[in-house]
């Protein structure tokens, strides 16, 4: 009973924090139908700002800056106001221009904003934790309930604050004129606009309030756990989103309920399940996935929110931009269009160029970098099948990559070498077996994970796949016997052909290039057939596709399978080329990065993923020579995020979008023209 009571108390504190953050997601979603992933980062900013304002001095950008040393309430207020302003500015710059764009454009932008804020925070405050300062309330002795449950005074303050904040918000929305305007905009934005409600201002208010709530939750979290850190917002942000979805996104009581449930389930699960603390992150995501499967609208939500507008993922978004910018792109576009129209000869030409480059580049260093370009280009190509062609936003793609990598590593290192003492050189051929095997295994997993998502669209689909990706990662960390957990697997042999090691950077580059040729060829063959036409038809108008006799559910699964196959296939090679893997290689951030590369290059093109990978990885290296970046390596990610936001606003279809892919078999067309 004591133990239970204590867990209950912990769960309530955690639940209060989740609930406050969930309110941010729900409020903004209700008004603009946007899942603003960046709330996790605003949560983190709230924590950092409060901590900083309470301290006498803080190291910012490596220099010590004097700080006011406010007491907690004043520091908190300051942090909440500043974060609220940041939220409004973010909305103004990154989201408002996309108000009429297809739904996924702002979603991707919000992921980019998240990356920008997180890397900026790490640049400013450093990679270390910032300890939450001591203050008077925290030094009071704990309150003892029922002789056995110890609650610190601050725990009580956290809960009380959450309750007061939520009641206040409910009252505000019910009574104030701004609150009524919010409700009206949530119901029907066009109608609200027509009756003279200043929708932009209402949205800004929702962002301000939501960001303030996220900041409040973040500072309470920092206080409870005693630190602030640049990545601290990530998991709580996801869980708060889970809580919001659980309660029914768009509903404020739902957010409160969802947060409470999630906090309790997590605390009790951590306390009672075997090895519960290790698995507690998985608990929330399993809950999320199960819920989305059984009742996507959440406990108190409305079903119609599970929808994505018709049309391309990004296409049709307004193409703004200065005249000169459009002029530049017009040139590039014409070139790309001609390139794409040339089809196979153009692809072979590119391959030839890559071979020449691989032969001539003298430095091993650059060969390694180019190998990474090819690997990321291949992975992005796999993701492109599902996101770019079939139009399904997948944030769990890394799982397939991980499956391939782990399959081959476990077989080579843990099973053959360590259990049976077989030297890797003796079984060099196994790699060539593992490539398709890893692909098939990942494809199987992809179908397994894809099946429950079939009924979901748009934002909910993204959230569910994200949940899957996280579950796979948590499993990889915790299933020690199989994966060695966070230690990772070392000593994976370099690729080998007939006993000749292909470990040299040059050999690896050519190996990767050969695989890339296989991947692109296979994907292109599928896309340039009735299968690809079915995928694009689903992307453009699922109902119309169905009416033309396309079994859309089956073809979505095919897309998952194809994408998973590529992920697993490349994953096998990745493990051998890195010779060491750990769950860190397969984080959600990698998935986001891959998504950004595809979007950067151009969704639904063959060359886009490689363009994106080339630009990003080469930039990553060149940037290392800049003194500013040397001092603050994190700014590179911020820069990528900024580029992506700018791209979303000015050229949402990506850089190489005009390299349009034909969807008919090349041979069949050639005959018909004659």
Partner 1 sequence: MTELKGGALLEARQVVVRFGGLEAVGGLDMAVARGAIHGLIGPNGAGKTTVLNVLTGFIRPTAGRLVFDGEEIGGLNVNGFARRGLARTFQNIRLFGAMTVLESVLVGAHQRFSASAPALIFGGRAARTAERAMIARAHELLDFVGLRHDIADRVATTLSYGHQRRVEIARALMSSPKLLLLDEPLAGMNAVEKQEIAELVRQVRAQGIAVLLIEHDMQIVRSLCDHLTVLEYGKLLADGAPERVLSDPAVQAAYLGRAR
Contact residues for partner 1 (CB under 8 A)? 310-312, 315-316, 521-522, 525-526, 529-531, 533-534, 536-537, 540-541, 543-552, 558, 562, 604, 660, 662-665, 667-669, 671-672
CA separation for the pair 405, 441 (Å, rounded)? 11
Nearer to partner 1, 129 or 541 (CB): 541
Q: Quote the Cα angle for 335-514-636, to 5°.
A: 60
**Alpha-carbon distances of 226 from 135, 471, 474, rounded to whole Å:** 11, 27, 24
Q: Which residues, including other chains, have CB under 8 Å from residue 160's CB and lie 6 or more apart?
A: none
Residue 670: CB atoms within 10 Å: 10
Instruction: Estimate to the nearest angstrom the gap between the alpha carbon of 573 and the chain centroid.
Output: 24
Nearer to partner 1, 239 or 556 (CB): 556
Nearer to partner 1, 358 or 604 (CB): 604
CA separation for the pair 375, 373 (Å, rounded)? 6
Nearer to partner 1, 1 or 547 (CB): 547
Nearer to partner 1, 316 or 633 (CB): 316
With contact defined as beta carbons under 8 Å apart, do 167 and 181 qualify?
no
Q: How far is the CB of 540 from partner 1 (least distance, A)?
A: 4
Structure tokens at 551: 């079994």
Nearer to partner 1, 247 or 439 (CB): 439
Q: What is the DSSP letter of 493?
A: P
Q: How far is the CB of 438 from partner 1 (least distance, A)?
A: 17
**Alpha-carbon distances of 382 from 529, 643, 651, rounded to whole Å:** 17, 23, 23
Q: How far is the CB of 559 from partner 1 (least distance, A)?
A: 12
Nearer to partner 1, 466 or 648 (CB): 648
Residue where the block lists tokens 């969802």: 258
Q: How far is the CB of 103 from partner 1 (least distance, A)?
A: 15
Structure tokens at 56: 């006498």
Q: How far is the CB of 663 from partner 1 (least distance, A)?
A: 5
CA separation for the pair 566, 521 (Å, rounded)? 12
Nearer to partner 1, 255 or 524 (CB): 524
CA separation for the pair 270, 284 (Å, rounded)? 11
Nearer to partner 1, 302 or 669 (CB): 669
Nearer to partner 1, 302 or 490 (CB): 302
Listed residue (270, 279, 236) closest to 4, CA to CA: 270
Task: Identify the helix (H) or strand (E) that includes residue 445.
Answer: helix 430-450
Nearer to partner 1, 350 or 665 (CB): 665
**Alpha-carbon distances of 431 from 504, 521, 572, rounded to whole Å:** 17, 21, 8
Nearer to partner 1, 155 or 542 (CB): 542
CA separation for the pair 70, 118 (Å, rounded)? 25
Listed residue (545, 556, 356) closest to 465, CA to CA: 556
Coil, helix or strand for 130? strand
CA separation for the pair 427, 504 (Å, rounded)? 19
Listed residue (327, 396, 387) closest to 599, CA to CA: 387
Q: How far is the CB of 551 from partner 1 (least distance, A)?
A: 5
Q: How far is the CB of 545 from partner 1 (least distance, A)?
A: 7
Helix, strand, coil shares, percent, the chain, to 5: 75, 5, 25
Coil, helix or strand for 63? strand
Nearer to partner 1, 83 or 658 (CB): 658
Q: Dmax of the chain from CA atoms?
A: 91
Listed residue (264, 283, 284, 282) closest to 4, CA to CA: 264
Q: How far is the CB of 539 from partner 1 (least distance, A)?
A: 8
Q: How far is the CB of 394 from partner 1 (least distance, A)?
A: 19
Q: How far is the CB of 137 from partner 1 (least distance, A)?
A: 53
Q: How far is the CB of 18 from partner 1 (least distance, A)?
A: 35
Q: How far is the CB of 442 from partner 1 (least distance, A)?
A: 15
Structure tokens at 604: 């639904």
Q: How far is the CB of 573 from partner 1 (least distance, A)?
A: 19
Q: What is the DSSP letter of 56?
A: S
149-151 vs 63-66, strand pairing mode: unpaired
- The string of DSSP codes covering 262-296 is HHHHHHHHHHHSTTHHHHHHHHHHHHHHHHHHH-T
Phi-psi category of residue 582: left, alpha or beta, with phi > 0 → left and psi -120 to 50 → alpha: beta
Nearer to partner 1, 483 or 653 (CB): 653
CA separation for the pair 313, 158 (Å, rounded)? 41
Q: How far is the CB of 537 from partner 1 (least distance, A)?
A: 5
Nearer to partner 1, 1 or 673 (CB): 673
Q: How far is the CB of 671 from partner 1 (least distance, A)?
A: 6
């Amino acid at each position: 009973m004591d133990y239970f009571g204590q867990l209950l108390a912990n769960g309530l504190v955690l639940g209060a924090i989740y609930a406050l953050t969930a309110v941010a997601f729900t409020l903004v979603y209700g008004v603009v139908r946007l899942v603003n992933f960046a709330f996790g980062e605003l949560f983190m900013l709230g924590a950092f700002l409060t901590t900083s304002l309470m301290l006498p001095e803080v190291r910012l950008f490596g220099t010590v800056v004097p700080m006011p040393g406010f007491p907690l309430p004043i520091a908190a207020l300051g942090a909440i106001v500043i974060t609220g302003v940041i939220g409004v500015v973010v909305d103004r710059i990154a989201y408002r221009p996309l108000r009429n764009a297809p739904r996924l454009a702002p979603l991707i932008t919000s992921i980019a904003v998240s990356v920008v804020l997180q890397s900026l925070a790490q640049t400013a405050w450093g990679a270390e934790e910032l300890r939450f300062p001591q203050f008077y309330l925290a030094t009071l002795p704990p309150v003892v309930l029922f002789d056995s449950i110890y609650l610190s005074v601050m725990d009580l303050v956290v809960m009380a604050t959450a309750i007061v904040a939520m009641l206040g918000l409910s009252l505000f929305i019910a009574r104030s004129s701004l609150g009524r305007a919010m409700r009206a905009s949530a119901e029907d934005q066009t109608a609200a606009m027509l009756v003279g409600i200043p929708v932009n201002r209402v949205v800004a208010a929702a962002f301000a309030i939501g960001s303030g709530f996220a900041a409040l939750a973040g500072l309470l979290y920092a206080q409870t756990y005693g630190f602030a850190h640049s990545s601290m917002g990530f998991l709580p942000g996801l869980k708060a989103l889970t809580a919001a979805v659980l309660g029914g996104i768009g509903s404020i009581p739902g957010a409160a309920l969802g947060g409470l449930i999630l906090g309790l389930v997590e605390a009790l699960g951590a306390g009672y399940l075997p090895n519960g603390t290790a698995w507690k992150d998985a608990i929330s995501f399993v809950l999320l996935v199960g819920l989305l499967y059984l009742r996507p609208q959440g406990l108190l939500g409305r079903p119609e929110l599970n929808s994505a507008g018709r049309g391309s993922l990004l296409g049709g978004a307004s193409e703004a931009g200065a005249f000169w910018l459009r002029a530049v792109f017009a040139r590039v576009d014409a070139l790309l269009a001609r390139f794409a129209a040339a089809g196979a000869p153009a692809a072979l030409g590119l391959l030839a160029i890559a071979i020449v480059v691989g032969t001539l580049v003298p430095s091993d260093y650059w060969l390694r970098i180019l190998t990474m370009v090819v690997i990321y280009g291949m992975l992005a190509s796999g993701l492109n099948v599902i996101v770019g062609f079939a139009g399904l936003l997948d944030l769990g793609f890394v799982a397939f990559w991980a499956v391939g990598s782990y399959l081959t590593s476990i077989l080579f290192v843990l099973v053959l070498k360590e259990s049976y003492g077989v030297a890797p050189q003796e079984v060099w051929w196994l790699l060539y077996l593992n490539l398709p095997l890893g692909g098939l295994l990942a494809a199987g997993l992809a179908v397994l994970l894809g099946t429950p998502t079939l009924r979901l669209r748009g934002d909910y689909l993204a959230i569910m796949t994200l949940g899957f990706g996280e579950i796979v990662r948590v499993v990889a960390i915790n299933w020690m016997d199989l994966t060695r957990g966070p230690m990772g697997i070392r000593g994976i042999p370099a690729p080998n052909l007939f006993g000749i090691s292909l470990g040299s950077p040059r050999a690896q580059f050519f190996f990767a290039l050969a695989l890339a040729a296989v991947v692109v060829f296979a994907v292109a063959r599928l896309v340039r057939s009735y299968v690809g036409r079915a995928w694009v038809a689903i992307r453009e108008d699922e109902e119309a596709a169905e009416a033309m006799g396309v079994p859309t559910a089956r073809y979505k699964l095919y897309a998952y399978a194809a994408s998973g196959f590529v992920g697993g296939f490349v994953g096998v090679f990745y493990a051998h080329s890195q010779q060491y893997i750990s769950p860190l290689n397969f984080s959600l951030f990698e998935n986001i990065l891959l998504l950004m590369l595809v979007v950067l290059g151009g969704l639904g093109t063959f060359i886009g993923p490689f363009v994106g990978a080339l630009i990003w990885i080469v930039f990553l290296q060149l940037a290392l020579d800049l003194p500013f970046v040397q001092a603050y390596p994190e700014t590179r990610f911020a820069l990528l995020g900024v580029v992506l936001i700018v791209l979303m606003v000015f050229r949402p279809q990506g850089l190489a979008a005009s390299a349009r892919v034909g969807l008919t078999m090349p041979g069949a067309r050639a005959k018909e023209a004659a």
